[in-house]
A and B are shown apart, each in its own frame.
Chain A
Amino acid sequence: MTDATAGPRPNSDAGGKDKPSGPMLAADGTSLKSSLARSMRRQKIKALLLVAPLLIFIMITFIIPIGQMLFRSVENQIVSDTLPRTVVALDSWDAESGDPPSQAVFAAMARDMVVATELNNHTSLGSRLNYETTGLSSLFRQAGREVDDFGEDHTDAFEEIDPLWVEPATWVTMFASDNWVEAHAEWAERAEAAGFGFDELPPPFEFSEGVQEPLPRTSAMFADFARVLRVEDEETPAEEEPWNIVYLSLYEDLAADPSAPSAYDGETRALLEEALAITDTMGPFDYQAAFEEIDEDWLGYDLWSTIQTFSPSYTPGYFLASIDRQLTPDGVEVVDDDRKIYGTLFLRTMVMSLMITFSCILLGYPVAWLLANLPMRTANVLMILVLLPFWTSLLVRTSAWKVLLQQQGVINDLLVWLGLVNDASRLALINNQTGTIIAMTHILLPFMILPLYSVMKTVPPSYLRAAKSLGATNWTAFWRVYFPQSVPGIGAGSILVFILSIGYYITPEIVGGTKGVFISNRIAYHISSSLNWGLAAALGSILLALVLVLYWLYDRIVGIDNVNLGG
């Protein structure tokens, strides 16, 4: 163990003199090496215990949220969660053929839509798909209003055969297990006793044995019906007449397998046998036509290909959207020119950050040089002029610039007053890129001056004098001797300013107008206005990756421990 030699060695003097032939022993007789290792381990654990609370705190309050955001940028469960049947049915559909999908797909869609509409999920699914193909949002909203009427005629036909079919009790006796009926009765009793404000969920629905095999479609649909009633309305099938689609499923079960009633041996067997007659009077339901009636786009290629493309639970779609690409059934495509915004925005963020960094170097270098070369006392006084803006609230500085740069603001007034600018042609200094660059240069300038200053402080002034005494001109002495030594400061300051500026949000938002905003403003827009969180997360992840690469560079150049806070 190399550490052991560096550790405390209480008996090292004595050990050195005696030069014992065997292993050195500690006071308690164990070998010194193992005793030392034990004490080191104890110290290590102690140190780790001290660090642990903060590490856990940071993990929970910061790292996990960031990780979750990264995850959200590829997450896409909404399609497969909302349309589970459709996604499976659509799997076999060949988008290339150009034909609309089969009846089975439309039937699956009708069922998924009924459930989604009842849960009010169809609108969020519509918005999600709308990010990919415009117009789908309204399609889903429209269908949500009509899909619960699908199969109404079949329901009426069942009622005609026997009015018992519209009684909830009939369905409960047919499907529910005895356990559930009992649990439900208890729950209803408790609800009665508690009266208003009773918020316990009803027991989850259980099927009685031997009903699911003969009537697969109906029981699957009825299960959804019971589930939705329970979580959405806190009710049970015992009080509600099933949806039309349940009747339609029953019809399809009976039509597909006329022997189903005989395979079922519950109380309602007679009722089912009687209902078999319905297959003679009613034809099958045409789902495709029904959807077409809502809107003929339901037969269109766009809708189905989008659903098929985005049915996997994880998608690169958001990342592709962040770089102006789009996932289509034919692969990745570049979006239309009028929708290309992110490439421009990333480019603008980079270019403007570079301009800000450059102006900070330009303004910061002379000041840092002056501060580093003035006598300590004067430099300290002047340093206040750098530190005061650094310590002043960001909002204060931003509002100061807003006040100064406005059309009716101090700078324009001054220029007009001096007669340098005509009153009618006041300069547009705000709500554009100029405003962002001026204000951010001012805000970030201390971050350039402080690292530059600390590097320049270490350059001995005698070097310049030596160069001059050897015959160098002022310029040569500066450029060949001083400047190369100040480059680390420029590097540190530039990376710091650049990193800070590409992630800036507040200042561009206030003084940047529409032309002077950064990628971060777009992220905020997607979080709070457009609610396209996946895209916000993807844009954020790209920005984060960029910043981490830059920080890695910064660490290589200056070392993260050397961050100077000017305090």
Chain B
Amino acid sequence: MSDALTNPADVASEHKAVTTFAMPLTALLGVILGYVGGQAASMPLIGVIVGAILGAAFAYVSGMVLEHNRTMGRWGAIALCGALGLIAGGFGGLVGGAIIGAILSWAAYWLTSGDYRRGVPIYSTPGQVLWHNSFLFICGFIFFFLIAPILTIIPLSFNAENFFTFTPEMLRLDPAGYSLKHYQDFFNSSDWQLAMRNSLIIAPFATIIAVTLGTIAAIGLSQSHIPGRQAIMAIMISPMIVPLIISATGMFFFYSAMGNWLEDNLGFSQEMTGYIKVILAHAALGIPFVIITVTATLVGFDRSLTRASANLGAGPVKTFFKVQMPLILPGVISGGLFAFITSFDEVVVVLFVGAAAQKTLPWQMFIGLREQISPTILAVATILVTFSVILLITLELLRRRSERLRGMTPG
């Protein structure tokens, strides 16, 4: 059976460890998971009993029988639980059972093989080991808390019903329980399409203004001789500091007067002034992010490069575009992304400054959430999550590129 342990005394002590330590714990986990699984098939008591037996059995098997053949042990457990689930609850049960089997068998091997002591020094007391593992579990729960709400809405957005919870069909993984209906709603509703269009008009313009002005100013600010640097910096990042509701209140008064002035004196249409107002407001909100990221990139910028470029006969404009810009580009782009997401995600200011014609996606979502919540929101939310994942990846790539570039330039 086991060829590593030939000494009968070792076998006996290992047997003891498995039966007194691993088996009860896995059985307990089996009880909990069995209860959950049994509840799904509306026979919790049977679930508890089966879970306890399976838990104890897995611990025994993993500790005594298949201790060196982990792959086989785990797949066996998954297959067994999956089969039980299939009998109890069809296809959904199969998946659920397999998951339970995977968890139980993982726990069984984790406990019997001594992996649970891996993160702590060899001399740790059992209390320390327990604390270490509890700590890891607590952290796991916090990560779960962080990510679960976002992950939950993704499957919910494919709900075939207008419910905000998992229907029995969905839990059975019945294809009839899922549909793209809410996505169709999103693409067919004129309200949502208008909101989408507005978001895609306002955010890019606001970003362009913020990035252009912000980059130029950051270059000015990075020069050592500028007087009143602290004060200028404070003014420039103030839109980020002031709570949005206060910015929105201030802008509400000022921008409505400005809009009237534009309409009366420059003859702009009401729609046009509406967009101008929102774009300017959003550009102001995005500027601090551009300033911060670009100034941070400029800290690592080697000034002698511009002097070298000037020495070789390039004018300031050429130096900027050929030497400085390519090097600070990652910072500029990530600042731009921040500005874009700020505008794209912003709702308080647009609610106060804009009119119904400038309704953006977050505005439409806000109305939807406050008045009558429709599952279309979940579809939009899923689209936006996908969007932010793409943004996150882009930023990460940019950060790496920036670090690489900075590594190349001395200083």
Contacts and interface: CB of A to CB of B under 8 A. Distances in A.
Interface of A: 3, 6, 40, 43-44, 46-51, 53-55, 57-59, 61-69, 72, 363, 366-367, 370, 382, 384-389, 391-404, 406, 408-410, 413, 417-419, 442, 445-446, 474, 499-500, 502-506, 509-510, 520, 523-524, 527-528, 533, 536-537, 540, 543-544, 547-548, 551, 560-561, 563, 565, 567
B250 interface: yes
A567 B236 CA distance: 20
A401 B149 contact: yes
Report which residue of A409, A543, A544, A548 has the largest number of chain B beta carbons within 10 angstroms of its beta carbon: A544
5 contacts: A62-B284, A68-B254, A366-B139, A393-B381, A395-B365
Interface stretch (B84-92, B101-109, B184-192, B239-247): B239-247
A502 B243 CA distance: 8
Nearest to B163: A408
A386 B366 CA distance: 24
B242 A66 contact: yes
A504 B245 CA distance: 7
B147 interface: yes
B237 A560 contact: yes
A363 B283 CA distance: 34
Contacts of A401: 149
Contact of B247 (A62, A68, A363): A62
Interface size for chain B: under 10, 10 to 19, 20 to 34, or 35 or more residues?
35 or more
Contacts of A406: 164
A476 to B, nearest CB: 13
Interface stretch (B9-17, B56-64, B388-396): B388-396
Interface string B41-55: 000100000000000
A391 B391 contact: yes
B345 interface: yes
A152 B236 CA distance: 62
A21 B248 CA distance: 64
B165 interface: yes
Contacts of B236: 54-55, 58
Report which residue of B220, B227, B344, B345 has the largest number of chain A beta carbons within 10 angstroms of its beta carbon: B220
Interface stretch (B21-29, B73-81, B110-118, B210-218): B210-218
Contact of A505 (B36, B131, B244): B244
A48 to B, nearest CB: 7
Report which residue of A47, A394, A527 has the largest number of chain B beta carbons within 10 angstroms of its beta carbon: A47
B265 to A, nearest CB: 15
The 8 closest A-B pairs by CB, nearest first: A503-B243, A50-B220, A65-B254, A54-B217, A65-B250, A69-B250, A400-B149, A520-B245
A3 to B, nearest CB: 7
Contact of A540 (B44, B238, B249): B249
A567 B334 contact: yes
B147 A388 contact: yes
Given A48-B220, A399-B153, A406-B164, A544 B246 contact: yes
A66 B149 contact: no
A418 B240 CA distance: 44
A393 B388 contact: yes
B245 A409 contact: no
B143 A55 contact: no
Nearest to A44: B225
Contacts of A50: 216-217, 219-220
Contacts of A63: 235, 238
Contacts of B244: 503, 505
Report which residue of A382, A503, A504, A523 has the largest number of chain B beta carbons within 10 angstroms of its beta carbon: A503
Given A58-B238, A442-B145, A567-B395, A404 B152 contact: yes
A47 B226 contact: yes
B59 to A, nearest CB: 25
Contact of B378 (A64, A389, A403, A520): A403
A66 B164 contact: no
Contacts of A503: 242-246
Given A51-B221, A54-B213, A503-B245, A388 B150 contact: yes
Given A69-B246, A69-B250, A527-B249, A391 B341 contact: yes
A72 B143 contact: no
Contacts of B341: 391
B374 to A, nearest CB: 11
A43 B223 contact: yes
A506 B347 contact: yes
Nearest to A524: B245
Report which residue of A59, A72, A406, A565 has the largest number of chain B beta carbons within 10 angstroms of its beta carbon: A565
A248 B233 CA distance: 63
B232 A510 contact: no
Nearest to A441: B145
Given A44-B225, A54-B287, A567 B338 contact: yes
Given A395-B361, A408-B164, A547-B246, 14 more contacts: A44-B227, A48-B226, A51-B232, A65-B250, A366-B138, A367-B139, A385-B146, A392-B385, A403-B164, A410-B164, A410-B165, A537-B249, A565-B289, A565-B292
Interface in B138-165: 138-139, 142-143, 145-147, 149-150, 152-153, 156, 163-165
Contacts of A389: 146-147, 149-150
Contacts of A500: 243
Nearest to B353: A65
B281 to A, nearest CB: 7
A58 B243 contact: no
Given A65-B254, A400-B149, A419-B39, A57 B284 contact: yes
